[in-house]
Structure 1
């Protein structure tokens, strides 16, 4: 593949729709040019960061590599459209903590950080277990097989996070649809019909209308313990959050708060089924569930990349990254780095020292990672305890997105465990 073809592929959404091609491209880059200057057609150039050590190094220097002005790769046309759509908001479609740096980021992250610490997650154990049990029961009711991703995985973390925000269950399906449209704007079956060439603007506008109304309702009533109320009533520097920041907080909870976990669930099950003997091994050794879940996150790497912009010149892997240049942190590649992971393409339930960075690294590491781990462990413990065998029932497909995603369909069949008297 020529340099232009490679560069175009790195900036595309189609690369991640084919795991085999994706792994081949990143394997080549890690071997031949791990910090690759990428100049795609119709796209701003960037440095492709594909090695684990370099992703870590960038994460250690949050003062040098910042999240603003953008967090994902965008084409020249997408940038032009976004500029037109955000004249009134100073170029910002959404302004959540993942788009912030420095003091702003610390303050906004701190608003809910305690909510997602291990002690708080422990108090949610009964809620998490209840959701896991209900969905496994639903799964066992399918007699002719089912699409695990769309009928089970997308609902489990969604119901948990929406429950924490106290959003009515009748509205969960609507918010799921908005999330998929927002995070996969270029996937031919998930993107919103009739919005070609308009980027995320129409979906973001609808999200803001929904959560703007929710914010108004919460502020009109006394504060309660749910997350939506906490954000509505909290203050920074003595002032309530602005409309953009408060609604963006809701959006990031409603999207990243569940989509990354559902992607990891489906990918985790897929690679478990692809590994001979893994189901039986995990059923016979439940203590392996903790490292198994870490391996699932490594294989899934649901956040495909984030962009950081250099505020000053910086030497990385012996190359000069100039002030103003962008670096794209390819987490999926880093999580299969041969220098860090022995036999990285092997799905190992007992991988002891798993240095996976699916949750990112540094100040922007995922706030909800403790909840994600607890949710995954509870679900797979329930699933494996109540089934005798799970098998693929067709060919899975993957979402065409370089932002957040994984499997788009996962057809399976389940054999329930024998009833015990």
Structure 2
């Protein structure tokens, strides 16, 4: 047994990483990650109000776990529902279990499932997200990018909050167009995706949630998912009666091997996953890239001079931001990770942001470098739970940068920027900038 197996992570480090509010100070958060990697890479965190858990901080350890889904299931394997793949407080999980009758999640979304059910449900949309299929969306997405630039940016100097006025809008428009959601409904979808991502942040609570309750995050999540369900129920009914050439139809028309439709719960699971992860991850990465271009004018000049560098810029932006900060796994039996003992039933928090700053894998990891080759980041995870939408996300980001950067003369951060206080999905909450557009 490795000596670090016997020690609990210092309270300040554990709280910084486990608690959503700990993520509001990025410098302190990444310093906590670094300390973990160098001192207790699989340390035990015992934070009041949360189940004890292992903090998996190194690239090698995250990959070892991701490659073994049967040994480290997402939903708890045979004891389905014993693990919530998204870390919530004990109060939040208990609140959700009371609503659902036992599971710590509301819908059988793909992230909440283990093989073979995970494999079956993932297959509903897997073909749609393959690179060859996405080629037909190249020009439509480019038109949407041009439309976004023309609509939201004028020639000359533009003073704006890049997150709210631009980065949140374009990816939402893309994913809702692909879904088949009318443009008039996009403000409603934007509000719901932001309610979902901001559930752990007290400053982003809905007005119908008791902000002081220990279950506030779970209350907000439940209310937001109920609103999603109310909207998409009509869409499922419509696409089953009148199929169209859109992703909503693919989901609504999906059938099991016996020829019966999947229950609406599975459809809702896909709608919510794609609406939230397909939107917030891309907008967070786009905002992070813009901030780095402001901080590094030489990078902006290099990419403007050679647009073939844009895919490198996208990849480094994904590594740098890592907008999905964690997923939880649970050990199905006694085992080892990186030579360290893990006991059956222990929960493990896979820290993707930390893994993507591991100096054992990435040279000069705390520097934004578009010449990083290879750049084997795991911002999309790895293994069977690897993000299905990663090719679409890269396509959206690449196309927007191909359209925007030739016109972008300069970018300057003009005020304070803040991070959403969440330990799961998020990035910049705001980014005031001055863009000069030709």
1:237 is matched with 257
CA contact (8 A) 1:211 1:251 kept: no
Structure 1 position 92, deviation (Å): 3.3
- Provide the C-alpha distance between the structure 2 equivalents of 1:138 and 1:228, rounded to a whole number of angstroms: 27
Q: Which runs of 4+ in 1 moved over 3 A?
A: 89-92
Q: Alpha-carbon deviations, 1:264-306, whole Å to 9, x = none?
A: 1011111222224111111112111111110000011000100
Q: Alpha-carbon deviations, 1:307-336, whole Å to 9, x = none?
A: 011111120122221111100000000000
- Number of residue-to-residue matches in the alignment: 415
1:67 maps onto 2:74 in alignment: yes
Structure 1 position 38, deviation (Å): 0.8
2:4 is matched with none
TM-score (norm 2): 0.92
Q: Which stretches in structure 2 are left out of the alignment for 5+ residues? A: 1-7, 76-80
1:164 is matched with 178
For the residue of structure 2 that corresponds to 1:388, the secondary structure is strand
1:95 maps onto 2:108 in alignment: yes
1:41 is matched with 48
From 11, 20, 33, the counterpart of 1:13: 20
- Provide the C-alpha distance between the structure 1 equivalents of 2:348 and 2:394, rounded to a whole number of angstroms: 28
2:127 is matched with 114
For the residue of structure 2 that corresponds to 1:307, the secondary structure is strand
- Provide the C-alpha distance between the structure 2 equivalents of 1:243 and 1:321, rounded to a whole number of angstroms: 37
- Provide the C-alpha distance between the structure 2 equivalents of 1:91 and 1:406, rounded to a whole number of angstroms: 25
1:267 maps onto 2:288 in alignment: yes
1:371 is matched with 392
Q: More deviation in 238-247 or 131-140? A: 131-140
- Provide the C-alpha distance between the structure 2 equivalents of 1:342 and 1:213, rounded to a whole number of angstroms: 50
Structure 1 position 90, deviation (Å): 4.8
Structure 1 position 350, deviation (Å): 1.2
Structure 1 position 50, deviation (Å): 0.5
TM-score (norm 1): 0.95
1:193 maps onto 2:207 in alignment: yes
Task: Give the RMSD, CA atoms, in angstroms.
Answer: 1.6
- Provide the C-alpha distance between the structure 2 equivalents of 1:144 and 1:352, rounded to a whole number of angstroms: 34
Structure 1 position 11, deviation (Å): 1.1
CA contact (8 A) 1:44 1:75 kept: yes
Q: Alpha-carbon deviations, 1:109-150, whole Å to 9, x = none?
A: 111111111111111011110111111223422855011111
Structure 1 position 182, deviation (Å): 1.3
Q: Alpha-carbon deviations, 1:34-70, whole Å to 9, x = none?
A: 1111111111010000000111100110111111131
Q: More deviation in 198-207 or 120-129? A: 198-207
Q: More deviation in 110-119 or 1-10? A: 1-10
Q: Which stretches in structure 1 are left out of the alignment for 5+ residues? A: none
Give matches, 1:345-360, under 5 Å: 345-360=366-381
CA contact (8 A) 1:268 1:296 kept: yes
CA contact (8 A) 1:4 1:41 kept: no
